[in-house]
Amino acid sequence: MSAIERLPAEDIPDNGLLRFLTCGSVDDGKSTLIGRLLYDSKTILADTLHAIQRSSARRGLDIVDLSLLTDGLQAEREQGITIDVAYRYFTTGTRKYIIADAPGHEQYTRNMVTAASTADLAIILIDARKGVLTQTRRHSYVAHLLGIPHIVVAVNKMDLVDYAQETFDRIHDGYLEFASRLGITDVRFIPLSALHGDMIVERGDRLRWYEGPTLFEMLEAAPAIHSEHVEKFRFPVQYVCRPQDSANPELHDYRGFMGRVESGELHIGDRVTVLPSRLESRVRDIQVLGESLPRAVAEQSVSILLDDEIDISRGDMIVRSDELPQVSRNIDAMLCWLSESPLDPRRKYLLRHTTRDSKAMLAAIAFRVDINGMQQQPAERLVMNDIARVSFRLAQPIFADPYAESRGTGAFIIIDESTNNTVAAGMILGIASGDSG
């Protein structure tokens, strides 16, 4: 574990926010687990509980079906499955959580990808009776590809295997073997019963052989940090503020470059370079609502004012002059294809990266990943739920970092302009330099 975890608690007054998702195969108990977590942490309020009690009774169940807490759509309740992500919230004394309950069905993998893209931690559920299934592998792989730093494998339904340690150990060993082939290193295991509540908030007394922390304790201890890398300052410009208020001399020449810091830090006085123009300037001020901040940190939304009058618009990026990103029109990436209509190699798509859009064409599919054998296969085209290594050629250059170093400047989506749908999620592996366009 990293040293951050060992920081004494008093150094972390507000532990901020942790986003996690539950994923894994169909019916492994993801929604039930979240219901249990909310129930046992006393987050469910009385009227919500009454409503799901009534609903459970109407469905002829003799116990409360906690999955109804997140399966909120009519179609989900009718079929007893999760179709799309549900977001739930809870707070402990030190931390606020945003939970995403992802669907297990293969058909809805794209919704799991949606949930995973913003998560800091993934709980991958495995049904103790069934062990590692194809969807377990697929979700593990997606979680890994999307760079979720912490993975917890929860072996659920231990009540149905008499809480047997052998079963847990067997699944543990099998998963580790598969995970190491993927390169997943930070993974922790826990046995539990979402239905009965063992090892979630309370330890229960049926899993005495397990000595690790409860699920709740793991969540409380997980550091909410995205990147293990030294972060470079990246500021995609979203919007330019030019009040052009001729009555107010102070605002007459005001130009604020508005955006959110994707990574790194910026201080007043720093030398910056603007891309794609490569013009340089110095940070005159960093502002929020008229107040001046000495610095801007990652995930903060601010306005940046520069010393020189430079033409900057949405889609440009401000970086520190000593930390330039790669600039290129050719990218290599891992791609999750999410659309029912297959990737058509002859078509042009729109590639959206930070605040920048560019037309893009597929240059090559290096391989498609076979989820079962984790093997690389040749492919001519990609269909829904395929994961592949591809390269794209772009009409405009982008300013990017490898996704492994920076989520914010390594991620992109593909939009099909004929439908306006988001059809793929991409993670940049590398970008060919020397072609700055």
* Residues at the site binding ligand GTP, with contacts judged by CB under 6 A: 26-32, 67, 81-82, 103-105, 156-157, 159-160, 193-195
Please report how close the Cβ of residue 315 comes to other proteins at its closest, in angstroms. Answer: 9
Q: Which residues pair with 428 in a beta bridge?
A: 333
CA angle (155, 211, 64) in 5-degree steps: 45
Q: What is the CA radius of gyration of the chain?
A: 24
CB 179 within 8 A of CB 140: yes
Report the SS3 class of residue 267: strand
Picked from ligand GTP, other proteins, Mg ion, none, the partner binding residue 26 (CB below 5 to 8 A depending on kind) is: ligand GTP
**d(Cα 90, Cα 203) in Å, to the nearest integer?**
20
Picked from ligand GTP, Mg ion, other proteins, none, the partner binding residue 28 (CB below 5 to 8 A depending on kind) is: ligand GTP
Please report how close the Cβ of residue 126 comes to other proteins at its closest, in angstroms. Answer: 25
Diameter of the chain measured on Cα atoms: 78
Strands 295-296 and 266-267: antiparallel
Closest CA to 356 of 336, 333, 329, 337: 329
Residues 80-109 that bind Mg ion (CB under 5 A): 82
Please report how close the Cβ of residue 385 comes to ligand GTP at its closest, in angstroms. Answer: 15
Report the SS3 class of residue 86: strand
Q: Given the complex with other proteins, which of 78 and 177 has the nearer CB atom? A: 78
Q: Given the complex with other proteins, which of 229 and 278 has the nearer CB atom? A: 229
Picked from ligand GTP, other proteins, Mg ion, none, the partner binding residue 157 (CB below 5 to 8 A depending on kind) is: ligand GTP
**d(Cα 387, Cα 368) in Å, to the nearest integer?**
6
**d(Cα 28, Cα 34) in Å, to the nearest integer?**
12
Picked from other proteins, Mg ion, ligand GTP, none, the partner binding residue 14 (CB below 5 to 8 A depending on kind) is: other proteins
Q: Interface with Mg ion includes 355 (CB under 5 A)?
A: no
Q: Given the complex with ligand GTP, which of 109 and 156 has the nearer CB atom? A: 156
Closest CA to 19 of 322, 250, 312, 222: 222
Helix H or strand E segment including 387? strand 387-400
**d(Cα 107, Cα 189) in Å, to the nearest integer?**
27
Place of tokens 């997943």: 184
Contact pick of 25, 30, 355, 424 for Mg ion (by CB under 5 A): 30
Q: Given the complex with other proteins, which of 128 and 298 has the nearer CB atom? A: 298
Strands 121-127 and 17-24: parallel
Q: Given the complex with Mg ion, which of 153 and 427 has the nearer CB atom? A: 153
Please report how close the Cβ of residue 395 comes to Mg ion at its closest, in angstroms. Answer: 41
Please report how close the Cβ of residue 46 comes to ligand GTP at its closest, in angstroms. Answer: 22
Distances (CA, A) of 292 to 285, 295, 303, 413: 7, 9, 10, 34
Q: Which residue is nearest to ligand GTP (CB)?
A: 104
Please report how close the Cβ of residue 84 comes to Mg ion at its closest, in angstroms. Answer: 10
Residues 47-86 that bind Mg ion (CB under 5 A): 82
Picked from ligand GTP, other proteins, Mg ion, none, the partner binding residue 160 (CB below 5 to 8 A depending on kind) is: ligand GTP
Q: Given the complex with other proteins, which of 110 and 150 has the nearer CB atom? A: 110
Picked from ligand GTP, other proteins, Mg ion, none, the partner binding residue 74 (CB below 5 to 8 A depending on kind) is: other proteins
